Amino acid sequence: MIYAFLTLWIVGALLIIRESKIIRMIIYLGIFSLISSVCFYMFGAPDVAIAEAAISVFSTVFFIVCFEKHFGLAVGVSDVTPESAENRTNLKKYIPPVVFTIFLFVLFIFFIPENPANSYLKDQYLSLFSRDVGGENSVTSIYLGYRVYDTLFEALMLLVGIVSVTHLSRYCETSVKEGKPSDINRADIAVFTIRVICPVMLLFGIYLILNGHISPGGGFQGGAAIASFFVCRYMIYDIYDIPIERIIMVEKIIYVVVVLLAVLFIFIGLHSFLPLPQSVYLITMNLLIGAKVTCGLIIIFYRFIAFERR
Amino acid sequence: MQIAGNIIIIIGIIFMFFGVIGIYKFKNFYSRILISGQIDTVGALTVIIGIAVKHGISFFSLKLLLLAGIILLLNPLATHITARSARLSGYLAQEQEPPPHDKKDGV
Amino acid sequence: MYIFWIIPVFLILYIIRIIIGPSVWDRLLGMNLVATKVVIIIIAFASLYELTYLLDFAIVYEIFGFISTIFISLFLMERKKGGKK
Amino acid sequence: MVFDIIEIFSVLMFFISFYGLITSKSIIKSVVSILLMESAVIMFFLSIGYTSGIMPPIGQNPETETVADPLPQALMITAIIIGVAVVAVNLIMLISLYRQCKAKDWDAAKKKSME
C-alpha cells in the first residue's frame, strides 16, 4: 500500500510542475502535502507526520494570501505564456533541461556507496534514551537531549526568518490598531461552528505539548496547532488587534530562556544535583518551544495579512 | 463482535462506493457536491463505528467516538462553505460549463 | 485488512476527478474527500497495531484539512466580491 | 547497488522538482519547487531502513528490530519548521519585488533590472 501512496505523491508533483494556473497549483499543493504526511505516517514517524500536516496548512495559507491579496487579479490571467501552436513547434527547447535532469539522476543512482545502513547508533539510542533523558517518546528525547544543539539552531533559524520577514514587509501601525471591519461574506452557520471548534483546537494543541514526552507530539506540533487557532480567529472576526511588536519581544525573550535552560540542564547537568524528576525538564522545554513556534507563526501570518492594508 | 464489526465496515464501504459513482455520474456541480458530501460523511461515520464495534468498550473506541463527532461536525460544514463559495461567485447550476470569469481569470 | 486495498482505489478515482474537474470548487471538494478517505486509512492502521496514540494524528489531520479547505474557499469568495467593485 | 526501490521514489521526486526549478518561468512556481525539493529530502531520510510492518519508536523499551530509526525523525522535525520559514521569506521577497517593478516572472524582472 505504501507504493500506491508514493505513486500518488509523484503524480501530485508532476501535476504541480506541469500546471500553469496558480490557484490550481495551490490546491494541488495542499493535496500533495496531505499525501506526503500520510507517507511519513506509513514510515513509522507519527511525529514528523503531525508536524507536516500542521505546516501544510500554513504553507497553503501563505501561498493563497500572497497570491490573493498582493497580486490580486493581475497575476491570475497568465503567469506562463499560453501553450499555443507556436509553442508546439518550439518543443526542442524542452529537450536540454530534460536531458540534463535525467543525466544527473542516473549519475546519482550510480554514485551511491555499497554499504548497508549502520544500525549501531539506533540500537544505542533506543536502549539508553529512557535512562539518560527520560520520557517514553524517543524522538522527543533525542531532540531535547542528545541533539539539543540542533533544536537551538533551529530556533535561531526561525528567529532569523521572522526578523527578515518583519524587515522586508512595510506595515503601518495605525491601520492595524483600528481593526477594520470584515469584508468576507460569511455564513452564520460557519461562524457558529468555527466558534465551537476553536476551543477544541486550542485544547488539542495544549494536549499535544503537555503529552509530548509520552506520545507523538511535542513543542513544534502543538505550537503549530495553537497558531492555527489564530488563523481561525482571523476567519471569524477579521481584525488585526494583535500587538506584533510586543510578540516579537516575547519571542526573543523566550529564545534566551530556551538557550539558558538547555545549558543549565544538559551541559552543566543541573538535574543530577536537584531531586527533580526528569520529565520536568522535557515538559518545560516543550512548553517554551511551543510558545516560541506559536509566536513566530502568528507574526508571519499577521504580517502577510496586514501587508497590503496600510 | 468481530463479524458484526466487519459487516458494518462493509456497509460503510458500499456507501463510499456510491459516493464514487455519484461523483462521476452527474454533470452538474451542485448535484455532485450534494451526493458526495452526504454519502461520504455517512460512509466515514459507518466505517468508524464498525471499527469501534470490533474493539469493544475500551479507550480506543472512546477516542474513535470523539473522532466521529469531529467528522460529523466538520465535514458537512466544509461542503457547505464550498457550495456557498461557488454560488456567491456566480457559478450557476444551469450552466454546463464553468462561468466566463472562470476561464478568463484562469482559475 | 481489506480496507487497505479498497480505499487507495477510491483515492485514485478521486484524484482523476480532481484532474478533470472543470472548476476550482470541484478540486476543493476533491481535497475534502481525499482528506476523509485518508483519515479512514489512518484509523485502520492504528486498529491493526492496537496503538491508541496513533489516533491523535487522525484528529490533527481532519482539523487541518478542514482549515485549509475553508481558507481557500473563503478567499475565492472574497476575490469575486473585490472584482465587482 | 543497495538502494531499495522505496528510496528511488524520493530521488526521482528530487529530480522532478529540480526540473521544475530550472524550467519555471514564474517566480511563485520556483518557490513551490523549492518546497517540493525539501519534501523529497525529508522523505529520503525517513525511508532509509524501511521494512514492511514498521512501528513508531515510542514506548518504554521498544524492540530494536521492528522499530523505525528515531534519529532522522528528530532531525526532520526541525527541518520542516525551517522549511516554512524559508517559504515565508521567499514569498515576502516576491511581494517586495512585485511592488517595486511589477514583475511576476523572471523574464520581466530581468528586463526591468536591465533598464
Indicate the DSSP class of residue A244. H
pLDDT band at A253 (very low <50, low <70, confident <90, very high): very high
Chain C contact set for D58 (CB, 8 A)? 53
Query: How high is the pLDDT of residue A68?
Result: 73
CA-based nearest distance D13→chain A, Å? 6
- The domain total for chain D is 1
Chain C contact set for A225 (CB, 8 A)? 60
Q: What are phi and psi of A137, to 5 degrees?
A: -90, 110
Segment B19-46 mean pLDDT: 84
Contacts of B27 (CB under 8 A, 6+ apart): B96
Chains A and D touch (3+ CB pairs under 8 A): yes
A125 vs D92: CB contact, 8 Å cut-off? Answer: no
Residue of chain A whose alpha carbon sits nearest to that of D48: A117
**A101 pLDDT more than 60:** yes
Chain C contact set for D56 (CB, 8 A)? 51, 54
Residue of chain A whose alpha carbon sits nearest to that of C80: A73
Query: How high is the pLDDT of residue D108?
Result: 79
pLDDT band at A236 (very low <50, low <70, confident <90, very high): confident
Under a CB-based contact definition with an 8 Å cutoff, are residues A244 and A302 in contact?
yes
Interface confidence, given as ipTM, is: 0.89
Q: Which of A137-141, C75-79, D86-90 has the highest mean pLDDT?
A: D86-90
Q: Residue C3's closest CA among B20, B2, B9?
A: B9
- CA–CA separation, A139 and D16 (whole Å): 30
Torsion, CA A200, CA A206, CA A210, CA A211, rounded to 10:
40
Helix (H, G, I), strand (E, B) or coil at D105: strand
**A228 pLDDT more than 80:** yes
Query: How high is the pLDDT of residue A291?
Result: 92
- CA–CA separation, A51 and D48 (whole Å): 19
**D105 pLDDT more than 80:** no
CA-based nearest distance A164→chain B, Å? 32
In this complex, the residue of B81, B84, B107 whose CB is nearest that of residue A23 is: B107
Chain C contact set for B15 (CB, 8 A)? none
**A196 pLDDT more than 50:** yes
pLDDT tens digits, residue range B78-89?
888 888 888 877
pLDDT tens digits, residue range A6-54?
888 898 888 888 877 788 888 888 889 888 898 888 888 888 999 888 8
Element of type H or E holding A260:
helix A244-262
pLDDT tens digits, residue range A47-81?
899 988 888 888 888 888 888 776 664 433 334 44
C81 vs A185: CB contact, 8 Å cut-off? Answer: yes
Residue of chain C whose alpha carbon sits nearest to that of D58: C53
Other Cβ atoms less than 10 A from the Cβ of D55: the count is: 15
- CA–CA separation, D80 and D83 (whole Å): 5
pLDDT tens digits, residue range D29-58?
888 899 999 999 998 888 887 777 788 888
C49 vs D58: CB contact, 8 Å cut-off? Answer: no
**A260 pLDDT more than 50:** yes
pLDDT tens digits, residue range A157-177?
889 998 888 888 765 554 454
Query: How high is the pLDDT of residue A261?
Result: 87
**B104 pLDDT more than 70:** no
> Any idea what the CATH number is for the domain that residue D72 is in?
1.10.287.3510
pLDDT band at A125 (very low <50, low <70, confident <90, very high): confident
Domain membership of residue D88 as a residue range: 5-114
Query: How high is the pLDDT of residue A77?
Result: 38
Other Cβ atoms less than 10 A from the Cβ of D6: the count is: 17
- CA–CA separation, C8 and C10 (whole Å): 5
Chain D contact set for C54 (CB, 8 A)? 56
- The domain total for chain C is 1
Q: Residue A305's closest CA among A240, A254, A257, A246?
A: A240
Residue of chain D whose alpha carbon sits nearest to that of C45: D53
Chain D contact set for C51 (CB, 8 A)? 56
Query: How high is the pLDDT of residue A307?
Result: 65
Q: Which partners does chain B have (≥3 C-beta pairs < 8 Å)?
A: A, C
C78 vs A68: CB contact, 8 Å cut-off? Answer: yes
Fill in the amino acid letter for A280.
Answer: V
Other Cβ atoms less than 10 A from the Cβ of A102: the count is: 12
Residue of chain D whose alpha carbon sits nearest to that of C53: D58
Fill in the amino acid letter for C59.
Answer: I
CA-based nearest distance A297→chain C, Å? 15
Q: What is the 3-state secondary structure (H, E, C) of chain C?
A: CCHHHHHHHHHHHHHHHHHHCCCHHHHHHHHHHHHHHHHHHHHHHHHHHCCHHHHHHHHHHHHHHHHHHHHHHHHHHHHHHHHHC
Under a CB-based contact definition with an 8 Å cutoff, are residues B10 and B23 in contact?
no
Residue of chain C whose alpha carbon sits nearest to that of B83: C25
- CA–CA separation, A239 and A179 (whole Å): 5
Segment A279-284 mean pLDDT: 85
Chain A contact set for B105 (CB, 8 A)? 73, 76-77
Chain D contact set for C53 (CB, 8 A)? 58
pLDDT tens digits, residue range B48-102?
899 888 888 888 888 888 889 888 888 888 888 888 888 877 766 655 555 444 4
Q: What is the mean pLDDT of chain A?
A: 79
**C19 pLDDT more than 70:** yes
Contacts of B15 (CB under 8 A, 6+ apart): B39, B42, B43, B46
Q: Which of A31-35, A183-187, B3-7 has the lowest mean pLDDT?
A: A183-187
Other Cβ atoms less than 10 A from the Cβ of A250: the count is: 15
Under a CB-based contact definition with an 8 Å cutoff, are residues C47 and C58 in contact?
no
Please return the burial class of B55, using the count of CB atoms within 10 Å of its CB with bins 0-12, 13-18 and 19+. Answer: middle
A74 touching B (Cβ < 8 Å): no
pLDDT tens digits, residue range D66-86?
888 888 888 888 888 888 889
Exposed e or buried b for every residue in A110-143, given b needs 16+ CB within 10 A? eeeeeeeeeeeebeebbeebbeebbbbbbbbbbb
**D59 pLDDT more than 80:** no
Exposed e or buried b for every residue in B22-50, given b needs 16+ CB within 10 A? bbeeeeebeebbebbbbbbbbbbbbbbbb
Mutation target vs A (from D78, D99, D102, D107; most A CBs, 10 A cutoff) = D78
Segment B20-33 mean pLDDT: 82
Domain membership of residue C16 as a residue range: 3-84
Query: How high is the pLDDT of residue A83?
Result: 46
Under a CB-based contact definition with an 8 Å cutoff, are residues A258 and A155 in contact?
yes
- CA–CA separation, A102 and D37 (whole Å): 16
Q: Which partners does chain A have (≥3 C-beta pairs < 8 Å)?
A: B, C, D
Percentage of chain A modeled with pLDDT above 90? 5
Query: How high is the pLDDT of residue B103?
Result: 47
Show the CA angle centred on residue D77, arms to residues D73 and D81, nearest 5°: 165
C49 touching D (Cβ < 8 Å): yes
Query: How high is the pLDDT of residue A121?
Result: 82
**C83 pLDDT more than 50:** no
Residue of chain D whose alpha carbon sits nearest to that of C50: D55
Chains A and B touch (3+ CB pairs under 8 A): yes
Chain A contact set for D93 (CB, 8 A)? 168
**B105 pLDDT more than 50:** no
**C84 pLDDT more than 70:** no
Query: How high is the pLDDT of residue A54?
Result: 87
**A105 pLDDT more than 60:** yes
Residue written as grid cell 496586514:
A306
Q: What are phi and psi of B19, to 5 degrees?
A: -60, -40
- CA–CA separation, B61 and A96 (whole Å): 56
A189 vs B105: CB contact, 8 Å cut-off? Answer: no
Other Cβ atoms less than 10 A from the Cβ of A147: the count is: 16
- CA–CA separation, D42 and A225 (whole Å): 21
Global pTM?
0.88
CA-based nearest distance B105→chain A, Å? 5
- CA–CA separation, C7 and C13 (whole Å): 10
Residue of chain C whose alpha carbon sits nearest to that of A184: C78
Indicate the DSSP class of residue A26. H
Chain C contact set for B20 (CB, 8 A)? 10, 13-14
C24 vs B60: CB contact, 8 Å cut-off? Answer: no
CA-based nearest distance A194→chain B, Å? 9
Segment A80-87 mean pLDDT: 47
pLDDT tens digits, residue range A198-219?
888 889 889 989 988 888 888 8
Q: Residue A231's closest CA among D113, B44, C74?
A: C74
Taking CA atoms, A112 is separated from A115, A117, B59, in Å, by 9, 12, 47
D58 vs C53: CB contact, 8 Å cut-off? Answer: yes
C36 touching A (Cβ < 8 Å): no
Percentage of chain D modeled with pLDDT above 70? 94
**C56 pLDDT more than 70:** yes
Segment B27-53 mean pLDDT: 86
